[in-house]
C-alpha cells in the first residue's frame, strides 16, 4: 500500500476507533431499546476539506451520523504532509477499498455490541482538491441481521398490532414500526398492506388520545419522509431544501412513473391530509401532474362516494370527502335556506362523510356566538346564523348528535388552541338560546377532550350571561365547569351569593369525585382557601351553605 495512503488511513482509523468506543458505551446504556431497531449506526463519512487560504491547510472531517446541511458537527483531525502525495487514483483504488474493508469487517462482527450497527451501512468518502472534489460511496448489507429484523417485525405485527386489546405496542416501538411501513426492505409500500396496519393500531389507541396523537405523528412523518426523499425527487426538483415547492423535471430526464408507487404517493397525501391539509392539496396536485386521473378526480369531486354537487331552491352545495370540505352558498337569507343546508350536511354525515370537515360559506349574514376565543370561521358563522331561527333548533340538535365525536376536530382552523370537536358551534348556540337543550350541552361536556380543547373554558361565562345563575340550572352549570380545562380557569361572572344557590351547588356536587368537586369550586371561588374565607365573611343563612361546601370537600380529604 502506498505510504501516504497508509498514513492517511491509519490516522482516520485511529479516530474512528476512538469515536466508536465512546458511542458503543452510550448505546449499551440505552434504557429501553426497541426490538424493531436492528442497530443504531448506519452511516460514516470521511472527508478531506481544503483549507480556507491554502488547499493543503485543511482538516480531515469524520461524521458518524448523516449530517444536516445547516450544521457542522464533524470530528476534525489534522493531517500531515502526506496529504499532498495523494491522487484520485490512489484514493479510488487503494484508500477507499481499504477503508471499506476495515468497516465491513467491523460491521459484520459484534465487537462493538449486537445493537451497534444497523443491518445497512453507508460509507461515504469525499476529497476536496483545489478546484474539484472526489466523492465515493458504498453500501454494506448484513443479510442475516436483515432476515432477523424481518422476522421480528412479523412477530411484532402479529403479537402487538393485529392482536386483540388491551395488548398494545410499547411506546419505544411505535416510531420504528412507522419507519418500517415505508422501508422496502421490511414490507411493500402498498396501500392494501400498510393501511390496515395503520388503522388497526389507530383503533386500538382510540381510548388513549395522547398515545394516538404520537402514533399519528410517527406514521404521517414517516409517510412524508418517503414522499419527499424517495418518490418526489424521481420526478421533481425541490426549489430549496426547506421549500414545499416542487418543479417538474424535463421530460427527457423524467423516468416513466411507477404506477404502484404513484398510488402509494396518493395514499400518502390522503393520510398526511388529516393533519396537514395544505400538504395533501400540494401532493395531489403533483400526482395529477404525473398523469394520475385518480388524483385529479380527488381534487375536483372527491372519492366518488358522495354526490359532489347539490342545487336546491335556496342553497347551492358542493362537497369533497378527500379534501374534507363542504361548500354552502346561501341564495336566500331565510330560515328555509339554513334548514335546507342543515339537511344536506346531516345527510352527508349519516352516509359517512368526515365529521371533521371544513366549511366554505357564501352568505351575507355575519353572525357569531358570544363566546370568547371561538374562531370566527365560516363554520362558526353558519351555525351562529342557523341558531337565529328557533324553528331550526331540533334540526341543529340532530346535527350535533350526529356530528359529535370524541377526539375528533373540525378543520376550520389550523390545529391549535381554537380547534374544536365536531358539533361544538351547534351545541353552544343551542345552550345559549334554549333551556330545552341543556341535556345536549351536558352530553357535549362529558364527551369533549378537556386535555386538548380549550375554548369551552369560556362557555360558562357566556352561559351565565345568557341565563343568569339559577338554582335549577346548577346541574348544567356544574357540567359546563367540569368540561373546562383542568387548569381551572376562574369564571368571573359566577357568584354564589344566595343560600339557595349554595344549596343547589352542594346537591350538584355531592355525587362527584373529589377532584371534580375541587375543580368546580376553584372555578367559582378561585381556590379552596378563598371559599373558606368567603364562608367566614358571609352572613347567615348563606354562611351555613358555604360552610357545607367547605365541609363536603374537607370531609372527603379526611377519609
Packing angle of the helix pair 171-181, 209-226 (nearest 10 deg): 30
* Tens-digit pLDDT profile for residues 31-67: 788 999 999 999 999 999 999 888 889 999 999 999 8
Report yes or no: 434 and 463 within 8 Å, Cβ to Cβ: no
Looking at residues 169-184, what average pLDDT do you find? 96
Looking at residues 119-123, what average pLDDT do you find? 98
Buried b (16+ CB within 10 A) or exposed e, 502-517: bbbbbebbeeeeeeeb
Q: How is residue 123 written as a grid cell?
A: 460509507
**Mean pLDDT rounded to a whole number for the chain:** 93
Q: How many CA atoms lie within 13 A of 264 on its CB side?
A: 28
Report yes or no: 342 and 327 within 8 Å, Cβ to Cβ: no
Q: How confident is the model at residue 113 (pLDDT cuts 50, 70, 90)?
A: very high
Report yes or no: 402 and 346 within 8 Å, Cβ to Cβ: yes
Q: What is the pLDDT of residue 255?
A: 67
373 — alpha (psi -120 to 50), left (phi > 0) or beta?
A: left
Q: What is the pLDDT of residue 415?
A: 84
Sheet with 75-77: strands ordered across: 75-77, 59-63, 41-49, 117-128, 133-141
Looking at residues 175-190, what average pLDDT do you find? 97
Q: How confident is the model at residue 69 (pLDDT cuts 50, 70, 90)?
A: low
167: Cβ–Cβ under 8 A, 6 or more apart, which residues? 159, 160
* Tens-digit pLDDT profile for residues 446-464: 999 988 899 999 999 999 9
Q: What is the pLDDT of residue 254?
A: 59
Give CA separation, 282 vs 65, 247, 268, in Å: 31, 12, 12
* Cross-strand bridge partners of residue 135: 126
The DSSP symbol for 19 reads: H
119: Cβ–Cβ under 8 A, 6 or more apart, which residues? 38, 39, 141, 142, 143, 145, 146, 149, 185
The DSSP symbol for 447 reads: H
Lowest mean pLDDT among 1-5, 218-222, 250-254: 250-254
Looking at residues 365-370, what average pLDDT do you find? 95
DSSP output for 389-438: -GGGHHHHHHHHHHH--TT---SSS-SSTT---TTHHHHHHHHHH-GGGH
Looking at residues 61-80, what average pLDDT do you find? 86
CA distance 317 to 329: 6
Asked if residue 253 has pLDDT above 70, the reply is: no
Q: What is the pLDDT of residue 451?
A: 86
Asked if residue 307 has pLDDT above 70, the reply is: yes
CA angle 533, 537, 541 (to 5 degrees): 115
CA distance 546 to 537: 10
* Cross-strand bridge partners of residue 63: 45
Asked if residue 174 has pLDDT above 80, the reply is: yes
Report yes or no: 180 and 155 within 8 Å, Cβ to Cβ: no
Lowest mean pLDDT among 153-157, 319-323, 385-389, 414-418: 414-418
Question: What is the pairing mode between strands 325-330 and 315-320?
Answer: antiparallel
Asked if residue 318 has pLDDT above 50, the reply is: yes
Q: What is the pLDDT of residue 486?
A: 75
CA distance 542 to 529: 17
Report yes or no: 331 and 353 within 8 Å, Cβ to Cβ: no
**Which residue is it, cell 420526478?**
235
* Cross-strand bridge partners of residue 248: 236
pTM: 0.80
Q: What is the pLDDT of residue 71?
A: 66
Asked if residue 556 has pLDDT above 60, the reply is: no
Q: What is the pLDDT of residue 557?
A: 47
519: Cβ–Cβ under 8 A, 6 or more apart, which residues? 481, 482, 484, 486, 488
Q: What is the pLDDT of residue 38?
A: 96
Q: What is the pLDDT of residue 472?
A: 97
Looking at residues 138-149, what average pLDDT do you find? 98
* Tens-digit pLDDT profile for residues 473-526: 999 999 999 998 877 789 999 999 999 999 999 999 998 999 999 999 999 999
Nearest to 216 by CA among 40, 350, 355, 409: 409
Report the 10 Å Cβ neighbour count for 287.
Answer: 25
Asked if residue 559 has pLDDT above 50, the reply is: no
Amino acid at each position: 500500500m502506498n505510504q501516504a495512503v497508509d498514513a492517511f488511513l491509519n490516522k482516520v482509523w485511529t479516530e474512528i476507533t476512538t469515536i466508536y468506543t465512546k458511542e458503543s458505551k452510550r448505546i449499551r446504556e440505552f434504557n429501553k431499546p426497541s426490538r424493531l431497531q436492528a442497530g443504531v449506526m448506519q452511516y460514516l463519512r470521511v472527508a478531506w476539506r481544503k483549507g480556507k487560504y491554502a488547499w493543503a491547510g485543511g482538516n480531515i472531517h469524520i461524521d458518524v451520523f448523516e449530517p444536516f446541511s445547516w450544521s457542522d458537527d464533524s470530528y476534525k483531525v489534522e493531517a500531515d504532509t502526506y496529504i499532498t502525495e495523494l491522487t484520485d487514483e490512489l484514493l479510488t483504488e487503494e484508500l477507499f477499498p481499504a477503508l471499506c474493508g476495515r468497516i465491513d469487517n467491523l460491521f459484520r462482527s459484534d465487537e462493538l455490541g449486537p445493537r451497534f450497527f444497523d443491518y445497512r451501512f453507508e460509507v461515504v468518502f469525499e476529497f476536496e482538491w483545489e478546484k474539484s472534489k472526489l466523492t465515493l460511496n458504498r453500501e454494506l448489507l448484513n443479510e442475516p441481521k436483515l432476515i432477523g429484523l424481518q422476522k421480528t417485525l412479523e412477530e411484532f405485527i402479529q403479537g402487538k398490532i393485529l392482536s386483540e386489546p388491551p395488548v398494545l405496542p410499547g411506546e419505544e416501538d411505535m416510531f420504528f414500526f412507522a419507519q418500517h411501513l415505508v422501508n422496502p426492505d421490511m414490507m411493500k409500500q402498498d396501500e392494501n398492506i400498510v393501511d390496515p396496519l395503520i388503522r388497526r393500531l389507530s383503533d386500538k389507541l382510540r381510548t388513549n388520545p395522547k398515545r394516538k396523537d404520537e402514533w399519528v405523528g410517527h406514521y404521517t412523518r414517516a409517510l412524508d419522509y418517503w414522499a419527499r426523499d424517495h418518490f418526489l425527487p424521481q420526478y421533481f426538483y425541490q426549489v430549496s431544501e426547506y421549500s414545499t415547492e416542487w418543479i417538474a423535471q424535463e421530460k427527457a430526464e423524467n423516468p416513466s412513473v411507477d404506477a404502484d408507487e404513484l398510488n402509494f404517493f396518493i395514499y400518502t397525501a390522503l393520510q398526511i391530509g388529516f393533519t396537514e391539509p395544505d400538504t395533501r392539496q400540494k401532493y395531489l396536485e403533483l400526482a395529477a401532474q404525473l398523469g394520475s386521473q385518480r388524483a385529479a378526480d380527488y381534487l375536483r369531486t372527491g372519492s366518488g362516494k358522495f354526490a359532489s354537487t347539490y342545487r336546491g331552491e335556496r342553497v347551492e352545495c358542493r362537497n369533497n370527502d378527500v379534501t374534507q370540505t363542504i361548500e354552502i352558498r346561501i341564495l336566500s337569507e331565510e330560515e328555509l335556506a339554513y334548514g335546507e343546508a342543515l339537511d344536506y350536511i346531516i345527510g352527508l354525515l349519516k352516509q359517512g362523510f368526515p365529521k371533521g370537515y371544513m366549511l366554505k360559506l357564501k352568505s351575507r349574514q355575519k353572525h357569531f356566538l358570544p363566546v370568547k376565543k371561538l374562531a370566527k370561521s365560516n363554520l362558526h358563522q353558519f351555525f351562529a346564523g342557523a341558531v337565529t331561527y328557533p324553528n331550526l333548533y331540533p334540526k341543529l340538535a340532530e346535527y350535533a348528535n350526529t356530528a359529535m365525536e370524541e377526539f375528533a376536530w373540525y378543520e376550520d382552523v389550523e390545529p391549535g388552541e381554537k380547534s374544536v370537536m365536531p358539533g361544538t358551534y351547534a351545541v353552544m348556540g343551542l345552550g345559549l338560546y334554549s333551556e330545552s337543550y341543556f341535556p345536549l350541552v351536558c352530553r357535549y361536556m362529558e364527551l369533549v377532550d378537556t386535555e386538548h380543547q380549550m375554548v369551552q373554558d369560556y362557555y360558562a361565562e357566556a352561559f351565565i350571561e345568557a341565563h343568569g345563575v339559577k338554582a335549577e340550572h346548577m346541574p348544567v352549570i356544574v357540567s359546563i365547569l367540569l368540561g373546562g380545562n383542568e387548569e381551572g380557569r376562574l369564571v368571573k361572572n359566577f357568584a354564589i351569593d344566595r343560600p339557595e344557590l349554595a344549596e343547589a351547588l352542594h346537591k350538584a356536587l355531592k355525587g362527584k369525585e373529589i377532584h371534580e368537586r375541587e375543580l368546580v369550586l376553584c372555578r367559582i371561588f378561585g381556590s379552596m382557601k378563598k371559599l373558606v374565607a368567603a364562608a367566614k365573611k358571609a352572613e347567615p343563612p348563606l354562611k351555613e351553605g358555604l360552610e357545607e361546601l367547605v365541609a363536603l370537600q374537607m370531609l372527603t380529604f379526611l377519609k
